[in-house]
Structure formats: structure tokens, C-alpha cells
Amino acid sequence: MSGHRSGLRAALQAASLAMLCGCSGPLSTLDPSGPAAASIATMWWVMLIGSALLFLLVVGIFILVIRRPGWGSSVSPTRWIVLGGLVLPALVLLPLLAYGLVTGERLLPLPGSAPPQRIEAIASQWTWTFRYPAHGGAETRNVLLLPVGQPVDMVVTSKDVIHAFWVPRLAGKVDAVPGRVNRLRIQADQPGRFEGTCDEFCGTGHTGMRFAVIVHRPEDFSAALTQALSAPEAKK
């Protein structure tokens, strides 16, 4: 029995370690570096806590029924269905739904008093091209440059098949659809290097369809863009 418990304890520790490792990394949505990503991460935790509470309530009732066979026999089947199948889930799921709708509305690129800078993201098998209209239409390939602390509207489209633009630590994801333009507002709270990827299977080269996101201070952005245009990785 002690050996069984030791093995179970070791398995739980390994699972906990694996879960903690999954909360960080270049493509982790739980390690946000921007307001949109932070809202998504918070919503994930709220949803997890809400679902855990609902699960514990159901398991608690199940344990009571097993340990006390007569418990709840005075309640009619109809009342069990109404209370357990409708009221109980509604008490947890409706607040979660309301929170999710409010958070999702805040993530939309709604028009403001001062339109943010626009950058075009053009996907093709298996490359990302980024165009900067405010800087004379300059283009970089597989390297996206952003100014720190400033919202940017990504205008996303595709030349061939459906792709998906995603920088997990900065914002949510949006599809790149041929013949259609989708928008995503993105912002980085700190300078540094991040990773983006295509999150829609698009062919045999899908796994390698990644790009770098380099965030600079606003006063250094133009110079960094000029330098990136001559870098080999921006021309691949």
C-alpha cells in the first residue's frame, strides 16, 4: 500500500511540474506581456476556477450519495433535475458567460479618438510578410517590429490558404483568410523579443511557419525598422 501511495504521489508531483512548465515559455498564453494577453490569461484562470467549483460541487454531492445511501431520497427526481441540472450549472456558468462576453468586447479593435498605427500581416505558404504603411510601405519578412506601449492594429490576410496570426504573449489569434481582411489590436508592455506562429494547419510547412516579434522603444522604432530591412532574417 505504501508503495502504491508513493507512486501516486510521484505521479502527482510530475503532473504538477509539467503543468507549471506549461505556464511559461515563448508561446505560453499564461505568461502575458500585453494588455490583451493579460485579459485572456485572467479569463482563463477565472474559467478554470469556475469549472473547478462546479466540478467539486458535483463530486461532493456524489460522495454524499455514496456514503449516505438515504441522503437526498426525500427530494423528488424532478427537483433533482431542476436544481442539479439547471440551477446549479446556471449559478456558475452564467456569471462566467457574462465575464467572457465583457472581456471579449474589450479585446475588439474598436475605433478610438486617435487611430493606432496599422501594420499589415500577409500570410503565404509558409512565410509572413509585414508591411508598414506609415513608414513608406516598408516590408519585413518573418520579423514583426512593434513599438512598446502603443496599440497597433494588425490587418491580417492571406495570399493562398487559410492561416492564423498568433502572438500568444501579446494578444489573441485571428484567421488570415484569402480575399478577406481581419483586424487584431496588439500591444506590448515591454521591449524584447517574442515569438509568433501560424495557428491554422496550412500544409506540410505549417510547423515552421513562425516569426519573430521584436519590440522597441517608440523613439527607436524607425531606426530599428531601417536596420531590419537589411537584415538577412527579414528577407528569407
Predicted pLDDT at 12: 46
* CATH code of 164's domain: 2.60.40.420
- Residue type at position 226: T
**Averaged over 170-197, what is the pLDDT?**
91
Structural domain containing residue 167? 117-234
Residue 8: inside a domain: no
Tens of pLDDT along 12-58? 444 444 444 455 677 777 888 888 888 888 888 888 888 888 788 88
Tens of pLDDT along 95-132? 888 888 887 777 776 666 567 889 999 999 989 999 99
Which three three-digit cell numbers place residue 7? 507512486
The total of other beta-carbon atoms located within 10 Å of residue 59's CB is: 10
Point out the least confidently predicted range of 13-17, 146-150, 217-221: 13-17
Residues 77 and 121 in one domain: no
Residues 226 and 160 in one domain: yes
Are 181 and 155 in contact, with CB atoms under 8 Å apart?
yes
Residues 61 and 155 in one domain: no
Residues 185 and 225 in one domain: yes
Residues 133 and 180 in one domain: yes
Residues 132 and 218 in one domain: yes
Residue 7: inside a domain: no
Residue 13: inside a domain: no
Instruction: Report the predicted TM-score, pTM, of the whole model to 2 decimal places.
Output: 0.73
Residue 192: inside a domain: yes
Residue 9 has pLDDT above 70, yes or no: no
Total structural domains in the chain? 2
Which three three-digit cell numbers place residue 148? 512598446
Tens of pLDDT along 68-96? 877 767 778 888 788 878 887 788 788 88
